[in-house]
Amino acid sequence: MTVLAAGLSTGCSTITETAADFKKSVTNLFWGAEENLTAEELAISGMDEFDNGNYHKSIEHFQRLKDIYPFSKFAILAELKLGDAHYRLEQYEDALFAYEEFEKLHPRNEAIPYVVYQIGRCHFDRISTPDRDQTAARKALEAFIRLRKQFPNDPYSRSAADHMVACYKSLSGHEFIVGEFYFKSKHFKAALARYRTVVSEFPDVGYHQPALSRIAVCEKKISEETLPAKDGADAPAIEPSLVLPENG
């Protein structure tokens, strides 16, 4: 009350200054410790928390570093480690956003092979069983193929190869399961298309031979369905009224 009364007696500028001082004191009380840290100190704090498995806390440090020192050389580290921290927390959408932003902002950075690999992993780690939606498998495969094309000799590219096999197996299994559904419901043409996809697009990942066997059965069934009736025994009779007289 004394400070505020003094402000009223000395003019509006003092009131404004007093309010600003009050706001500053509140800010310092809650956030001042981090705001006074340098970019390097925030980076070190973030890494310490990350290494200790305190990913939520590390995110706070790295985000603060980005906000306060956006042009610091340590901001690049913060951008990358935000993706890693979200990934460790299985917050895959947030991790994807961070990695994709990093690639967009720093396309020539030496960490790009790792970033593309992690983009693939964010999708890969969400792959479910072959009977479920395969969007995650397709997107993971796209990222890993891109990585291998752009950086064929990078260690992360080699690591992606093993994950690609798992993606192919999941996609192949899905096509085979859908084929089985059509086969059991006697929709042989639809089933045949699925089995052929397994053989042509996903060979040697576990479903190739079963698909070949089903293809033979489907082709036989389709052939039987399209055979003409023998000796006209089962052919429909032609109504006399439908036979047109010859012109003459």
Listed by start position, the domains of the chain span: 38-89
Lowest mean pLDDT among 77-81, 104-108, 158-162: 158-162
Cβ neighbours of 201 (radius 10 Å):
12
CB 114 within 8 A of CB 149: no
| Residue 37 to residue 229: CA distance in whole angstroms | 88
Q: Rounded to the nearest 10 degrees, what angle do helices 92-105 and 112-124 cross at?
A: 160
* pLDDT for position 159: 92
* pLDDT at residue 206 in the model: 86
Question: Which of 36-40, 61-65, 135-139, 236-240 bottoms out in mean pLDDT, i.e. has the lowest?
Answer: 236-240
pLDDT for res 110: 96
Rounded to whole angstroms, the Cα distance separating 180 from 21 reads 73
**Within 13 Å of residue 13, how many CA atoms lie on the same side as its CB?**
1
Burial code of 217-246, b = ≥16 C-beta within 10 A, e = fewer? ebeebeeeeeeeeeeeeeeeeeeeeeeeee
